[in-house]
Amino acid sequence: MADTENAPPAAHVEPVWDQNRTRGDEPPAAGTSRGPSGISGGDRMMFAAIAAVSLAIGIVNAFSGAQDAAWRGDSYDIGRRLFWEMSSIAVILLLLPIPVLAVRRMRRMSGLAARVGIGTIALLGFSALHIAGMVWVRKLALWLAGGAYDFRFSLATVLYEFRKDAVAVVLIAGTIWLLESRRELKTAAAAPAAPGPPSPDMIWLRDGTSRIRVLPRDILWVASAGNYIEYSLADGTRHLIRGTLAAAESELARFSIVRVHRTRLANLDRVSGVDRRASGDFELAFDNGQTLGGSRRYRPAVAALGSRTAPAGIASADATSVNKHS
């Protein structure tokens, strides 16, 4: 009897076992979209929040200092104190990228020594630039106004300013750290779940750029055809692909598709009957009426068919029919 009946011409395709498709460029994660300047919307919000808090603190300090001076009998002079505070805050805001970059670098490192080193370098650099920038702004502004500014440079004055800078940097860096942690949590929550492993319940056959998904239960048999292998499906279609039967056997074994002949694999879950012959060879009858011959060398592969329970939707083998020729 012929191995198959009324099957249409085979299509030449190549097998592709389930795998993730190559994806193009993905959009940036939520909260990280960047404009032409490379600064994200989240960064702008962070800078704005720090600027607002800094300005509020500066204004409060100016009014408090003016009130303290008035209580000591000095001039209230709120304008001068606001100028001192605002000139310092303006330079601090210009230097914000230093703690931002330092915090982001520190978050990527796990070693304590490396984090402390980066933090120390950032603090020293920030303080030096802040003091120099603040003095330059004050000197320039007062020169334009017809006055003069004397920083009274000394070790004590530098240490005085450095102490204030250290507190400011720690507060700013701590704020940035918390905001970065919050941003990462929001990004992780908004990101789509990572694709899971390929489903083991399907395979893909590929013909150039086209793919055909095949459910393993729809495969009746696979046969060798020179440099190709042929898939025969339950609906009567066939797919001719380049490959070896040995490779197909290793991939399909988990679906109960096993070798029953030197050149053929059969889906035992679709077998409805076995005709055993005196020579030891046998013939498998599938539940759609097609048949496939097997050789005695692979008879052990079908020896237990009489005790197998057919899956839902597939006719169970009748024990008498299976063993009538044994």
CA 281 to chain CA centroid, Å, is 53
125 vs 23: CA distance, rounded Å: 43
- Give tens-digit pLDDT for 106-147: 988 888 899 999 999 999 999 999 999 999 999 998 899 888
What confidence tier does 42 reach under pLDDT thresholds 50, 70, 90?
low
The whole-number pLDDT of residue 209 equals 60
- 153 has pLDDT over 80: yes
What is the chain's mean pLDDT, rounded?
77
- Give tens-digit pLDDT for 134-143: 999 999 988 9
The whole-number pLDDT of residue 117 equals 92
| H/E run at residue 62 | helix 41-71
CA distances for 17 relative to 64, 73, 218, 258, 295, angstroms: 73, 87, 16, 17, 28
CA nearest neighbour of 218 among 272, 269, 262: 269
Cβ contacts of 322 within 8 Å, gap of 6 or more: 273, 274, 305, 306
Comparing 9-18, 219-228, 283-292, the range with the smallest average pLDDT is: 9-18
Tokens of 139: 């000197």
The whole-number pLDDT of residue 84 equals 85
- Give tens-digit pLDDT for 243-253: 888 888 888 88
Query: Amino acid identity of 154?
Result: S
| H/E run at residue 163 | helix 155-190
Burial label for 194, CB within 10 Å (0-12, 13-18, 19+), is exposed
Q: What angle do CA 132, 134, 138 make, to 5 degrees?
A: 120
- Give tens-digit pLDDT for 156-178: 988 988 998 899 899 889 888 88
- 9 has pLDDT over 50: no
pTM > 0.75: yes or no? no
